[in-house]
Amino acid sequence: MASTAQQSARTSLGVIPWATLAVSVAGLAVAAYLTYEHFTAGSTLACPDTGVVNCAKVTSSQYSKLFGIPVALLGLAFFVGMTALSVPPMWRTASPWPGRLRLAGVLTGVVFVCYLIWAELFQINAICLWCTVVHALTLVLFALVIVRLALVPPAS
């Protein structure tokens, strides 16, 4: 009986954990691309460079670094962490820590995304398409993690 229950738990992760993993991997890919572009001076950035949508203007602005660390690199680190925390064993573990770290991660991510959107809209006066994709994925991650937490509290 216990074995059946265990097996059932193994197979019934639900949609949200898998969606979280998929979004994290997508974010990881885009963040890796932005990081590559950051360190190669954005010479191959697939994005318009005139008008409101202007990736180069955003990625070369003073807001492209935080305490000297490229924001693209911080984004990459965030998605590496979220991907690691979203693999099935991390959802199945009895330890409360993966859940806590996921929550801390998405909360930090959302605050940072709000800051970056503010910088783009009010300080740089330009939008970076790829950055916007990363922002959207972070907001989706936040929604997924927080709704999953509501549906399946760590203690249950």
Partner 1 sequence: MARRVEQKAAARERIAAQLAAQQQAERRRRLLFAVGAVVLVLVIVGGLVTIRLVGGGKKTATGPSGAADSGLVTALSSIPDSTFAAVGSADVKAAPSAITAPALTAGGKPKVLYIGAEFCPYCAAERWPVTVALSRFGTFSNLGTTHSASEDVFPNTATLSFHGATYTSQYLAFTGVETTTNEMVGNGYKPLDTPTAEDQKTFDTYNKPPYVESDGSIPFIDLGGKFVNSGATYSPEVLAGKTQTQIADALKDPSSPIAKAVLSSANVYTAAICKLTNNQPAKVCSTDTVTAAAAKLGSAKG
Please give the residue ranges that form the binding site for partner 1 (CB under 8 A). 49-51, 54, 56-57, 60-62, 110, 113-114, 117-118, 121-126, 139, 142-143, 146-147, 149-151, 153
Q: Between 57 and 102, whose beta carbon lies closer to partner 1?
A: 57
User: 148 is written with which tokens?
Assistant: 């999953």
Residue pair 111/139 in contact (Cβ under 8 Å)? The answer is no
At closest approach, how far in Å is the CB of 139 from partner 1? 6
Residue pair 27/135 in contact (Cβ under 8 Å)? The answer is no
Would you call 67 helix, strand, or coil by DSSP? coil
At closest approach, how far in Å is the CB of 65 from partner 1? 9
At closest approach, how far in Å is the CB of 113 from partner 1? 8
At closest approach, how far in Å is the CB of 138 from partner 1? 10
CA distances, 11 to each of 15, 26, 50, 56, 107 (Å)? 11, 24, 50, 45, 28
Q: Between 90 and 144, whose beta carbon lies closer to partner 1?
A: 144
